[in-house]
Chain A
Amino acid sequence: MIARIVRRLVLGALTIVCVYSVTFLMVITVPGNPFRQGERNIPPEAEAALRIRYNMDNNWIYFGEFLRGAVALDFGPSFSYSDWTCNQIIADALPVSIMLGLLAVFLGVLVGVPVGVMSAVRRNGWFDVTTLGLVLLGISVPTFVTGSLLLTVGGVYLGWFPIGGWGTLAHLPLPALTLSLPLMAYIARLTRTGMLDVLGADFIRTALAKGAPPRTVVWKHALKVAFLPVLSYLGPAAAQTMTGSFVVEKVFGVPGLGQHFVNAALNHDPGLIMSTVLVYASILIALNIVVDVLYGWIDPRISGAV
């Protein structure tokens, strides 16, 4: 088990280097100039001096220096947010996104799994049919629609939650719910499919023949097996949710990390682009390793493999 985790970590580090290389290549080839954005129009001599100052006069040196900084968790300055380092920006925004994301994933599992189980148990009943419709909505309606809707109802009509901003607990529920709706839908669907597969299995009949009540059979014997596809989905889904969503942050005025992915690219801010991408990649890889370990723990059949 330990050896497997170490191997995954080494592989993960290699993956991150690849991600970094591709991102770097895109940053230097995309047309645009970090030193000449909008109002900023500095003299060519100053630009040349800055390029030397930040190792940007030579791409090979820049590649190496940024990587060396990144390994030491120092991503250097942001060029679009003057006086801010990329570290400060991420340290400000990432906890916000992680908090929202965790809450959203938690809600998604809390609602999605039981709904999926009950749909599968009452297959083709009214609950299942209704749920299928809602799942379709949850997956297909974009977050700017659900977010605005929730904001209108919960913030404007009912007045239970602040319209936007960040800082108090009351600011959490609406954006978290918005983020969690598609998660709930996917998780409900995955759970339902998994349960339908498992409920027909011979070992379910064995459990019933033993005299176990249907509740135990469904929630213990069946769900432990049926949860596995949900778990595999949760790794990447949580990584994505926990690194913020540009749309949800815009709708609710949340100072999360999602906006920086977009703004960094729009502003040609190379340090911020690469640092946000690296943060996302690291979280994704870390969560996948966590999922892998949990997977082996739930399903002993695969703990020897990979």
Chain B
Amino acid sequence: MALDTGHCDHGAPLLEVRDLATLFRTDEGDIRAVDGFSLAIERGRTVALVGESGCGKSATALSIMRLIAAPGRIIKGSIILNDRPDTPPVDLLRLDDRAMREIRGSRIAMVFQEPMTSLNPVFTVGEQIAEAFELHTELRGRAAMQAAIEMLVKVEIGAPQSRAAAYPHEISGGMRQRVMIAMALACGPSLLIADEATTALDVTLQMQVLDLLREVQRESGMSVLLITHDLGVVARWSDYVYVMYAGRVVEHAPVARLFAKPLHPYTRGLMACAPRLGERADRLQAIPGSPPDPRHLPSGCRFHPRCALCVERARDRERFTAAPEHATAVPLLRRCVERFPEEASGAPELRQCDNDHWVACWET
């Protein structure tokens, strides 16, 4: 690439989120939906973001799109998009609204979870796809509609001409999700955010939609941020996995590595939850308890009230009796439970424990 003197450093990730924090102000207190979140997505790769409902996955996706609605607000961080060889990397959080709108739907597109309610009931699917072209390309009117029909062909919808004139209530759920995908892919995005894109579909449709997305990805070389709580989907499609809990990343690693050797107790818990074929399980495992109330996060490690490791070791009373003055001598467990005033954050920071495998836990 001799001519490529320019801005696009091919080593740099396509999207890099650094230290993102998103806050929702409510009458009952602030909700830190995303709190010190960092992530990198390489070109052409699929990065999965997993975690239970309410851990901040969707808030992260909407933050990247800058679609956090009041009373929510992104309070800090940076989101660097570096997708085009001919344009310098931009920090999405520093763009004005107009510049952000030009990126939304054209360079970063999103597919949402609810195919039933995500399409406008009073416009035809053709009109809704054509609008993406009208917003971001020179195509207008009939030409935009023609392009929309071509997108319907691309997402393998039969009889695209007549489907384009149909209203969302006239087509099936799986087809609606294909329409959503057609709309998202219309302008050839560099990054597709799929927020539980297949969760609402039945298993056969799920597979079809996933195959379709992978096919498109192979053709276009776009990157995908796959948000899901379905580890099966993660294993099948993604290259790299971030595990999120209570607004923070607790572990990230390449997919094979993570499945082979999960380190964080939460990740292990998630994996234990997923039933495995060929393994007899009389009772499905579950992580005890539920994600913490984001207004009242636990002190210390946010996972400690549900942590198997923590509970197990808490039985060892002696660990608790150690005096806080001897910080180095204090058994690590104490840090899981209490916040030390001298530490910037009560929660454990990510540390590298192997090549490209990071975990935020003091105990493993």
Contacts and interface: CB of A to CB of B under 8 A. Distances in A.
Interface of A: 201-203, 205-213, 221, 224-225, 298-301
Contacts of B103: 211
B120 A211 contact: no
B106 A211 contact: yes
A201 B122 CA distance: 13
Interface of B: 65, 67, 98, 101-106, 109-110, 112, 114, 117-123, 131-132, 135-136, 167, 169-170, 180, 183-184
Given A202-B112, A212-B131, A301-B121, 12 more contacts: A203-B117, A206-B119, A207-B120, A208-B67, A209-B112, A209-B184, A210-B105, A211-B132, A211-B136, A299-B121, A300-B121, A300-B167
Contacts of B98: 213
Contacts, number: 73
B155 to A, nearest CB: 16
Contacts of B117: 201-203
B120 A225 contact: yes
Contacts of B106: 211
Contacts of A201: 117
Nearest to A205: B67
Contact of A299 (B122, B135, B136): B122
Contacts of B110: 209
B105 A203 contact: no
A224 B67 contact: no
A244 B111 CA distance: 53
Contacts of B135: 210-212
Given A208-B67, A208-B104, A203 B118 contact: yes
Given A202-B114, A209-B110, A300-B169, A225 B121 contact: yes
B101 A211 contact: yes
A203 B125 CA distance: 12
A209 B167 contact: no
B121 to A, nearest CB: 6
B122 A225 contact: yes
Contact of B122 (A210, A212, A298): A298
A205 B169 CA distance: 18
B200 to A, nearest CB: 11
A224 B65 contact: no
Contact of B67 (A209, A221, A298): A209
Q: Which 3 A-B pairs have the closest CB atoms?
A: A211-B105, A211-B104, A210-B105
A278 to B, nearest CB: 36
A301 B105 contact: no
Contacts of A213: 98, 101
B83 to A, nearest CB: 15
A254 to B, nearest CB: 39
Given A202-B114, A225-B121, A299-B121, A210 B169 contact: no
20 contacts: A201-B117, A202-B112, A206-B120, A209-B65, A209-B109, A209-B184, A210-B104, A210-B109, A211-B103, A211-B104, A211-B106, A211-B136, A221-B120, A221-B123, A225-B121, A299-B122, A300-B121, A300-B167, A300-B169, A301-B121
